[in-house]
Amino acid sequence: MRSFSFQHKAVLLISIVFAATTAYGQDLGSSNKLFGGKPVATPKPAAIKKAPKKRAPIKVKASVVKPKSTAKTAARKPPVAKKQAIPIKAVIAPRTTEATGAVTTGSSKGSSPAIEAQYEKLIDIGNLARDSRDYVEAESAYTKAKLLKPKDARSFIGLGNLYADQQRWEDAEKAYRSSIEIDAGQVSSLVALSFVLTRPVSAPNLSERYDEAERLARRALKTEPQNPLANDQLGVALELRGEIGAETESAYRRAVQFDPGFAPAYAHLGRLLRKKGRAAESATAYSSAMTRSDNVATRVLVAEILQSEGRVNEAIQLLDIAVATDPRNPTALSLLGRALTTVGNYSDAERTLRKSIDISPTSFIGYSLLASLYARQGKFEAADNALVKSIRFVTPFEKRRLATQFEAVGDGYAKAGKSSNATRAYRQAVSLDPDRETLSGKLVKVN
């Protein structure tokens, strides 16, 4: 009995380490609705032929569309919500038609008609591929377009969008920076880069990133002072810098003033008010965020904010609807997998995370979350395998996080008496983060 108790405690401790390295609860910036706009009219998605596996219902008090239950069983399946247009005020859309209201940037000088035609075709291919979640084809098309016309910002914006879809934040940052170098006054790109800089990555210069995010938001507001996304993003940047006073609150309130349906700003306001000890106002703001989450993009972002605040059941409710509406949305899937892991629904979490990886196979986050899921269950070999696969896609900013996860796997192996496996995991952690002081002692102990 003592042995079981010790092993259980060891698994619990290691799962906490994994949760800390994959929680991504730092905060979430302006909105995935930045990246969710459809620049072209696309065919309606095929009907969902097979419903997700049924799960026990999650009861929440917030006012939001609730899944229907049947008289035969208490189990439920996520509802198929009606797909709605995203109420976007400023969309980053690499597309040039008056009908879509998208932005045209870059110069055509020196381009032949043949190059122009090929460029537009590639942009169309990239847009349509991204809409259908074929990220490999979309990236290929945008990259070819970039080579044809390196001074046209649309290909870089397209790349930034699809990288943001997959939570490949460093790649998205580079792409948006390139678009701003071409067109420094493009408000949507300024806000998008500000958003990326407030992502929860393991960068060594977070304070500098938050400072730049604030400056970018202010630049955008000089051009469009009533832009709700820019106002919301200013609030996020200020809050991440530790500013929770009147200016931050005012930024969020301006965002909802200029767009009363902008759900993420209500969620950010709810979090800020909680920090300021105004619990009743915070609850009202969160309720407003949920009732206004009427499309996939806002549901995903509001759910992410709710998760960061520990409101996991409410997040799951929004994500269930988002995934039912957009079954191939990799961010919605990864967030839902993480939330289901948190509440201990491991089978559904694993299936959801594997689907996210299938759709976005070059994104580090899916493998990292899958490893976290296995570690919570004490399945260290499976966690190890997932982490090994993630090495191909880890970015410099995420190497510390990955090293922490390998170290936790090593700890699990060591406690199970698997010295050779523990040594391998610790050495992998050292290769990712050579300055990690805890590893040298652990390597000595297992050898």
**Structural domain boundaries in the chain:** 1-28+328-447, 31-43+79-182
Q: Which CATH class is domain 1-28+328-447?
A: mainly alpha
Kindly tell me if the per-residue pLDDT of 381 is higher than 50: yes
Q: State which fold the 31-43+79-182 domain adopts.
A: 1.25.40
Four-residue CA torsion sign, 429, 357, 298, 34: positive
Confidence of residue 15 (pLDDT cuts 50, 70, 90): very low
Cα–Cα nearest to 15, from 342, 340, 315, 351: 342
Cα–Cα nearest to 106, from 119, 87, 118, 90: 119
Q: List, as one string, the DSSP characters of 63-103.
A: -SPPPP--SS-S-B----PPP-----SS-------TTTT--
Please report, for residues 57, 110, 341, the alpha-carbon distance to residue 294 in angstroms, rounded to integers and kept in the order given: 21, 45, 25
Q: What is the mean pLDDT of residues 5-25?
A: 40
Q: What is the pLDDT of residue 397?
A: 83
**Whole-number average pLDDT of the chain:** 80
Q: Give yes or no on whether 1-28+328-447 and 31-43+79-182 have one common fold.
A: yes
Please report, for residues 264, 435, 447, the alpha-carbon distance to residue 432 in angstroms, rounded to integers and kept in the order given: 35, 9, 20
Kindly tell me if the per-residue pLDDT of 38 is higher than 50: no
Kindly tell me if the per-residue pLDDT of 439 is higher than 70: yes
Q: What is the pLDDT of residue 112?
A: 87
Range of weakest confidence among 18-22, 150-154, 214-218, 287-291: 18-22
Kindly tell me if the per-residue pLDDT of 75 is higher than 50: no
Q: What is the mean pLDDT of residues 345-366?
A: 94
Q: What is the pLDDT of residue 55?
A: 57
Range of weakest confidence among 20-29, 259-268, 346-355: 20-29
Query: Percentage of residues in the chain with pLDDT exceeding 90?
Result: 66
Torsion of Cα atoms, 350 then 306 then 11 then 369, to 10°: 40
Q: 253 or 33: which carries more pLDDT confidence?
A: 253
Range of weakest confidence among 15-29, 138-152, 379-393: 15-29
Cα–Cα nearest to 165, from 64, 313, 34: 34
Q: What is the pLDDT of residue 102?
A: 33
Confidence of residue 264 (pLDDT cuts 50, 70, 90): very high
Q: What is the mean pLDDT of residues 6-13?
A: 39
Q: 25 or 291: which carries more pLDDT confidence?
A: 291
Q: Which pair of structure tokens corresponds to residue 335? A: 């967030």
Residue 210 contacts residue 193 (beta carbons within 8 Å): no
Confidence of residue 51 (pLDDT cuts 50, 70, 90): very low
Cα–Cα nearest to 153, from 100, 221, 88, 107: 107
Kindly tell me if the per-residue pLDDT of 145 is higher than 80: yes
Q: 109 or 24: which carries more pLDDT confidence?
A: 109
Q: What is the mean pLDDT of residues 403-420?
A: 95
